[in-house]
Structure 1
Amino acid sequence: MTDDELWAIAAYLKRGVKPVRNVVEDSEGPADFWAGLYQRFLPPYPAVAFPTAREVEPPPEADREQ
């Protein structure tokens, strides 16, 4: 595309398209209903100890500032 075509598209999007305002209806229940229910009945997933089988501790002489 040429610069003139890009400028024409930008001008169309800026001046030619009118904004639309749509009203969003309220949800039927509270937003955190399912998340709270999930946490209430299931324990948190335990974190895997470091280092895992795929990770290794870097040697002490390794430059960590790179």
Structure 2
Amino acid sequence: MADHSGPIVARLGERAVREAVIDRRGRRYHFAGVARRDPRGRLDVTALRQGEWIVAPDLVYRKA
């Protein structure tokens, strides 16, 4: 993701979570939650819905 946009809606540790991010092509994604992890501690990408992406660190954003 290239740019953060909108207000801070949460904090993950010391990092601010923005309401939205905008990629290099100008597409906007809205914060959808924190990524789930499987029993081994790996990101559970099977839990993502269509149009959702994981953005470091462990944040899920959905295409607007």
The TM-score, its normalising length taken from structure 1, stands at 0.17
The structure with the greater share of residues assigned to strand is 2
The structure with the greater share of residues assigned to helix is 1
Higher RCO, 1 vs 2 (CA within 8 Å, ≥6 residues apart): 2
The TM-score, its normalising length taken from structure 2, stands at 0.17
Q: Which has the larger radius of gyration?
A: 1
